[in-house]
Amino acid sequence: MHVRHTETRLYLSDDDGFAHDFHAFWLRESSTNEEFRDPGTGHKLQDADQLPLDVTIVHAATRSGELELEFSDGHRAVYSLTDLRRAAEHPFTPELIGEKVTWNASLDPLPWHNMEALENDPHKILDLLNDLARLGFVLVRGVPLELNGVLQFIDLIGYMRLTNNGGIQDIKAVGEGRIYDLSMTPRSLEPHVDNPYRVPQPGYVLLHCLRNDAQGGESQLTDGLYVAEKMRSEQPELFDSLCNVPVVFRYADEQATLENTSPFIDISPEGRIEHVRFHGRCDQVIAAEPDKLDAFYRARRTYTDLIKAPDVQLTFKLNPGEMFMVDNFRIIHGRRNFQLETGARHMRQAYIDRDVVSSRQKTLLRNIDAKPPRPRQGDPFENVAARAATEPEQRPA
């Protein structure tokens, strides 16, 4: 790597064509010197307004892959040249580490994992999280066949998300009057993401199977990233409409009013598709100009047809003790209807927030022996399991 500098800039280049200009203040503020940055948390020990805006580089020296800088305020810091190059080439931090691979109904093999192996080997947890980064979902066998068995899996990752519906929820047919969601009936559920009306929207959805012997009830997953990328390449104007027209997602009952306004698809500053929303029952596009809506309605129809296409939807049936975990910003899930006359279907559902999952992966990558996070003061989740009461199932007379 070649290094040149003026008072206000550092110029790095390499023989393979890499070249980047770094601002002197950016370098000063990126110092990892312990006088400036806490080695325990990585936090700065001063606010930026305590540094001189006109700080300059007074001296630069390189040795064995490292760069030492001295600044006009007297501060000295050492930088890894590899880290500087990475900061120039990959300025944004990925939420999960690993390349995403899109898939359709022909995905094979499926990303199965085993509960016992996960409990005995942290490398297996990392494998699972890497699969989640790559495919947006994982499947797990051997989750305890207990009402709150999913907690044993969640404990390996971190902690669950609470909502106004509680922690772990039943997904099974219940009697009329107790239904607050279509999932509590035996009917089929069209593809959807969960709760796009919440802020933040639940990050990951876990569905743990306790019983599934009724006819039907197969789970269906669609890779929203596959669908969105396909629209972006084949119908870019319609894709733009999905990224630019605001949609209100809403749920309201006697105890809650939940609203979020967002387009169907969010694009990151780098142009990556980072959030795919779809929920055919709670979406209301804003009352935009009719021409804009013309395009939006065509876009939504194309998007819906793609999501529901049989060659895109992966279909499988969970058996007792199995669960899936899906990225709720990417994977669109649904289920086929089931016949209560032929048996029962009882699932337990829980959510985990996105930062819990990405933190666990990144921390394991730094230290494979790192334990899952536990509350430092008390346990706010202690009684969640006890509170998650189960509803009596509705059976035909």
What residues make contact with Fe ion under the rule CB under 5 A? 194
Question: 3-class SS at 179?
Answer: coil
- Tokens (6 digits) for 169: 């929820």
Is the preceding peptide bond at 236 cis, omega within 30 degrees of 0?
no
Compute the distance between CA of residue 195 and CA of residue 162 in angstroms, rounded to an integer. Answer: 13
Nearest distance in Å: CB 189, Fe ion? 6
Nearest distance in Å: CB 126, Fe ion? 27
Choose between 148 and 220: whose C-beta lies nearer to Fe ion. 220
Compute the distance between CA of residue 70 and CA of residue 65 in angstroms, rounded to an integer. Answer: 17
Choose between 30 and 349: whose C-beta lies nearer to Fe ion. 349
Nearest distance in Å: CB 194, Fe ion? 4
Nearest distance in Å: CB 98, Fe ion? 25
Note the maximum CA span of the chain: 85
Report the phi/psi class of residue 271: left, alpha or beta, with left for phi > 0 and alpha for psi in -120 to 50. Answer: left
**Nearest to Fe ion by Cβ — which residue?**
194
- Tokens (6 digits) for 144: 């305890």
Strand 219-223 versus strand 331-335 pairing type: antiparallel
Compute the distance between CA of residue 218 and CA of residue 212 in angstroms, rounded to an integer. Answer: 9
Nearest distance in Å: CB 305, Fe ion? 20
Compute the distance between CA of residue 263 and CA of residue 196 in angstroms, rounded to an integer. Answer: 11
Choose between 225 and 364: whose C-beta lies nearer to Fe ion. 225
Compute the distance between CA of residue 14 and CA of residue 3 in angstroms, rounded to an integer. Answer: 9
Choose between 24 and 173: whose C-beta lies nearer to Fe ion. 173
Choose between 88 and 162: whose C-beta lies nearer to Fe ion. 162
Nearest distance in Å: CB 328, Fe ion? 9
Choose between 157 and 347: whose C-beta lies nearer to Fe ion. 347
